[in-house]
Structure 1
Amino acid sequence: MPANAPLDRVLLPLVAANITALVIFHFLRTDFFHTVYAIEDGPAEWATAILLFISFLVLARHAARFARAGRKPAMAIMALGALLFFFASGEEISWGQRIVGWEAGEFFTENSHREETNLHNLKIGEVKLVKVLFGNILTLVLLLWLVGLTLIYKRMPAVAKTADHWAIPVAGYRHAVLVLLASGVIALVDLQRKWEVYEFIFSLVALSIFLYPQNAHVFGRARHARSKSERQPAHAPQR
């Protein structure tokens, strides 16, 4: 863990604690897991929504800095990421539907298997969007980012240069290990609503990556239009 990553002393132990909890509850067979911790609008879901929103704020701040520095490609990536995490945060709590108590509109009532105001519960015929687009496809994309890019960043200068130019946050090895471990545990445990905890774990890891990426030099100098990272790639050997 980097010495300048104080929040990781909170975020990453929480990831480890949730992975451990999944294993423990798998063997305990208690109702506490799916009736209290991972229940709809429960601690795990609300924590996920809050963490996703904090990630939105971090990315939006980076986007503003890159905009002031005149780095349009980096600004565009950060702005897109911010929008995605804002959307994910809203989707997690169905945009406040159950808080305010409004009824879903006719479109969502007829096309959602949960009759909630969100997109991830929509269905086309009998096919649930959450299992296709927001399940397998999204999981593959996230694993390529969280694990694939992490492993090749320092080994392939062209990839490192591209990631730095576009300001793509690169996960550290600690993030990749935790994601792989969590994915393996999720695949093996038999628990109702286990995916709520997986989303919580992802939100913790994602925030840690955005705060302390492997290519932190790119974001630390975002305020400068002509930073050293633009003149010399991060992977260039020192003399």
Structure 2
Amino acid sequence: MTLSAFLRIDKILLGIVAAVLFLTLGIYFYSTEYFALIYAREDGFVEYGTALFLFVASFVLIMNARSLKARGARLALGCTLFYALLFFFAAGEEISWGQRIFGWETGETFQEINKQQETNVHNLIVPTPWGDFHLAKTLFGPILTLIVLVYLAVLPLLYPRVGWIKLAANRIAAPVPSKRHAILAVAASLLIAVIDVPRKWEVYELVFSLLVTSIFLLPQNRKHTTFLGRDI
């Protein structure tokens, strides 16, 4: 595929993001009940869309890793493979590793320590001397949200201006978002902040999965991170 083809794919992905944001706002004003019970429901369009694009993002990273291996960039290769593993894990977690699709029973251990009694990690409840530690409300809640916002909205501004950040991002092959990604990320964050409806974060996750797929294909630092790098 040529660069122009990937540019078209990128426009499609960002167009879908914009469409999701407009659709979300429209459905919110139409019916909050429809939003929670149909649009963003468990095992619905939004959740499966998130899992699909997280898997796609992982695949893109693997393709990038193949190119980095050919260039002999060992550190960048290792980091990119690690990123690919993280996104594959996130995709599996999103659908509880296919448990509800294939209908297997939750094991006894997960029934005891998982908030939703499912086979996944992000809903685990870890007992501590200070009380139960809910991963979904802490590590996978505000902490992860802050990290995502810094990555999507702050890093694109710092990368071209701060030398050591630029050098570090390139050395570890961290795909840096562009301004177009940052604008859409801020728009999504503002939308999620102002609407008050159950399961609104499911939409935020879908937007994130679409954005990172676009970022991994055409980041700011693509010559250091992607299989398109040598052609640009």
TM-score, normalised to structure 1's length?
Answer: 0.87
Q: Which residue of 1 aligns with 2:151?
A: 145
Deviation at 1:91, TM superposition (A): 0.4
What is the alpha-carbon root mean square deviation over aligned residues?
A: 2.2
Structure 1 unmatched ranges of 5 or more: 230-239
Instruction: Give the secondary-structure state (helix, strand or coil) at the position aligned to 1:131.
Output: coil
Distance in 1, Cα, partners of 2:175 & 2:86: 15
Q: Are the structure 2 counterparts of residues 217 and 69 from structure 1 closer, same or farther at C-alpha, using a change threshold of 3 Å?
A: closer
Amino acid paired to 1:163:
A
Q: Is 1:168 the counterpart of 2:174 in the alignment?
A: yes
Equivalences for 1:9-88 in 2 at 5 Å?
Answer: 9-88=11-90
Distance in 2, Cα, partners of 1:211 & 1:78: 13
Q: Is 1:6 the counterpart of 2:12 in the alignment?
A: no
Q: Are the structure 2 counterparts of residues 222 and 19 from structure 1 closer, same or farther at C-alpha, using a change threshold of 3 Å?
A: closer
Q: Is 1:183 the counterpart of 2:185 in the alignment?
A: no
Deviation at 1:186, TM superposition (A): 0.7
Asked whether the 8 Å contact 1:22–1:189 carries over to 2, the reply is: no
Distance in 2, Cα, partners of 1:119 & 1:71: 32
Deviation beyond 4 Å, 4+ runs, structure 1: 220-224
Encode CA deviations 1:27-77: one digit per residue, 9 max, x unaligned: 222532222221111111111111000111110111122123221110011
Deviation at 1:222, TM superposition (A): 7.6
Encode CA deviations 1:82-111: one digit per residue, 9 max, x unaligned: 000000010011001111111111111001
Asked whether the 8 Å contact 2:160–2:166 carries over to 1, the reply is: yes
Encode CA deviations 1:167-197: one digit per residue, 9 max, x unaligned: 1101000101111111111111011111111
Structure 2 unmatched ranges of 5 or more: none
Q: Are the structure 2 counterparts of residues 5 and 127 from structure 1 closer, same or farther at C-alpha, using a change threshold of 3 Å?
A: same
Equivalences for 1:80-229 in 2 at 5 Å?
Answer: 80-125=82-127, 126-220=132-226
Kindly, what percent of the aligned residue pairs are identical? 44
Paired residues in the alignment total 225
Asked whether the 8 Å contact 1:91–1:120 carries over to 2, the reply is: yes
Amino acid paired to 1:69:
R
Asked whether the 8 Å contact 1:74–1:167 carries over to 2, the reply is: yes
Asked whether the 8 Å contact 1:66–1:223 carries over to 2, the reply is: no
Deviation at 1:79, TM superposition (A): 0.6
Instruction: Give the secondary-structure state (helix, strand or coil) at the position aligned to 2:55.
Output: helix
Instruction: Give the secondary-structure state (helix, strand or coil) at the position aligned to 1:102.
Output: coil
More displaced stretch, 157-166 vs 180-189: 157-166
Distance in 2, Cα, partners of 1:13 & 1:49: 19
Distance in 2, Cα, partners of 1:194 & 1:221: 35
TM-score, normalised to structure 2's length?
Answer: 0.89
Instruction: Give the secondary-structure state (helix, strand or coil) at the position aligned to 1:124.
Output: strand
Distance in 2, Cα, partners of 1:82 & 1:221: 14
Amino acid paired to 1:130:
A
Instruction: Give the secondary-structure state (helix, strand or coil) at the position aligned to 2:137.
Output: helix
Distance in 2, Cα, partners of 1:160 & 1:215: 9
Q: Which residue of 2 aligns with 1:236?
A: none
